[in-house]
């Protein structure tokens, strides 16, 4: 049936609708209205709309939202995106937004203006963020990103604030499901904190503003930096302990050797005195022979002392070289690697399920690998 809203009524009705819902009256929404039945000889019967009840529109939106949530839960995909593995350093970011929006500008300023100089690679995928075309536009960009998903670590949906009606697209089943089943973690930064949309619920992380979404990604770099600094400090501390312990042992051995050497020299001197006393009537040639033997013994003692000190010095140098070789960068340089699972080093293949994605740290970069087969050593029980 034909219905009219005359301009004299529309301004007042639309103002009321905006004050309650946060958005103007537009196509595609359900409304409850008050109308007068009129008849015109030329145009026939029509309804003249004189008022609209905004709470009805909000109620319809809430009902559809609950139905879509239940539908996603029954399909078993409601928590799928939140269960994905989040990469250690989310450097490559696919951004669904509008280049001219303030939300996108705030997000870029936070990411590129971070004072720690963390480097991010941003790729913008322009889309309508509200209105009738938002659903089709955002879903289409998600499909585009999925085709080249290996080029990205994470996806962000960036939008400024708005009313409940303006955000109704983010409660739509098609868009919410596209986010829930997306193979990369999705960060929602759609600038709305009053009523959480379904897209925000199913996304890996919900950040109520574009700025907070940017800080969330920067924090991931902070977390890695803290772990790296902790490991560096631990290596330095342990290396110093090893050097100090070996230095102390070396000093103790030198001290012990010095005491033993002095004792031997004292005994040799005492023996010489005894020989001189016992053989004072022996021919001079015999005394000289014994004196030569004693000098030889003294030389041997000195030679042994020098050789022992050299050996101990070599041991200390060997330990210092081993400490240098144990530095992580030198271990990686020799062809070794460190494999991480959920951000932790892997030491036991028994904790890994098949098909899991791992991060392998090499000397000059990282590899993303997927476990196809697990084989345990035959010597293990």
**Domain ranges, ordered by start, for the chain:** 3-63, 78-223, 229-326, 335-370
More confident: 287 or 370: 370
State residue 147 phi and psi, 5-degree precision: -65, -25
pLDDT at 279: 59
What average pLDDT does range 354-364 have in this prediction? 83
DSSP 73-119: HHTT-TTTGGGSPPPSS--EEEEEE-TTSHHHHHHHHHHHT-TT---
Has domain 78-223 been given CATH number 3.40.50.280?
yes
Q: Are 179 and 81 in contact (CB under 8 A)?
A: yes
Q: What is the pLDDT at residue 369?
A: 83
Q: Residue 44: which pLDDT band, with cuts at 50, 70 and 90?
A: confident
Sign (positive or negative) of CA dihedral 305, 310, 315, 316: positive
Going by the DSSP 8-state scheme, the letter that residue 171 receives in this structure is G
pLDDT cut 70: percent of the chain above it:
88
**What pLDDT does residue 23 have?**
67
**Average pLDDT score over residue span 254-275:** 82
Which of residues 168 and 87 earns the better pLDDT score? 87
pLDDT at 241: 87
Q: For residue 54, what are the CA distances in angstroms to 107, 163, 170, 172?
A: 33, 13, 19, 20
Per-residue pLDDT band for 58 (boundaries 50, 70, 90) equals low
Task: Please give the span between the terminal C-alpha atoms of the chain, in angstroms, as a whole number.
Answer: 80
- Work out the average pLDDT over 241-251: 87
Would the pLDDT of 89 be above 90?
yes
pLDDT over 70 at 19, yes or no? no
Counting residues of the chain whose pLDDT is more than 90, the rounded percentage is 30
Structure confidence by residue, pLDDT tens digits, 117-167: 999 999 999 999 887 689 999 999 999 999 999 999 999 999 876 554 467
């Amino acid at each position: 049936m034909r219905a009219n809203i005359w301009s004299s009524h529309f301004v007042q009705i639309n103002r009321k609708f905006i004050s309650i819902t946060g958005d103007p009256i537009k196509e595609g929404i359900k409304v409850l209205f008050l109308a007068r039945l009129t008849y015109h000889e030329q145009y026939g019967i029509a309804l003249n709309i004189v008022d609209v009840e905004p709470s009805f529109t909000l109620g319809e939106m809430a009902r559809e939202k609950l139905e879509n949530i239940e539908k996603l839960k029954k399909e078993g995909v409601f928590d799928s995106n939140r269960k994905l593995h989040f990469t250690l350093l989310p450097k490559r970011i696919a951004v669904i937004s509008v280049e001219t929006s303030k939300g996108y500008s705030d997000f870029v300023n936070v990411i590129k203006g971070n004072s720690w100089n963390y480097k991010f690679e941003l790729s913008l995928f322009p889309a309508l963020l509200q209105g009738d075309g938002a659903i089709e536009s955002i879903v289409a960009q998600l499909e585009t990103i999925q085709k080249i998903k290996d080029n990205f670590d994470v996806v962000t949906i960036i939008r400024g604030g708005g009313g409940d009606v303006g955000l109704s697209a983010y409660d739509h089943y098609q868009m919410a499901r596209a986010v829930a089943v997306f193979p990369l973690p999705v960060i929602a930064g759609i600038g709305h904190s009053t009523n959480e949309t379904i897209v925000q619920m199913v996304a890996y992380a919900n950040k109520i503003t574009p700025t907070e979404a940017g800080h969330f990604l920067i924090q991931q770099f902070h977390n890695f930096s803290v772990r790296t600094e902790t490991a560096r400090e631990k290596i330095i501390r342990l290396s110093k302990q090893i050097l100090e312990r070996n230095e102390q042992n070396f000093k103790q051995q030198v001290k012990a050797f010095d005491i033993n050497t002095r004792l031997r020299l004292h005994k040799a001197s005492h023996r010489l005195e005894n020989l001189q006393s016992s053989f004072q009537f022996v021919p001079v040639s015999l005394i000289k022979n014994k004196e030569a033997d004693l000098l030889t013994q003294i030389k041997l003692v000195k030679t042994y002392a020098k050789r022992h000190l050299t050996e101990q010095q070599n041991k200390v140098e060997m330990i210092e070289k081993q400490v240098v070789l144990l530095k992580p960068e030198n271990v990686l340089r020799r062809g070794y690697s460190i494999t991480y699972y959920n951000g932790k080093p892997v030491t036991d293949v028994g904790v890994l399920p098949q098909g899991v994605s791992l991060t392998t740290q090499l000397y000059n970069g990282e590899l993303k690998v997927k476990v196809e087969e697990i084989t345990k050593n035959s010597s293990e029980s």
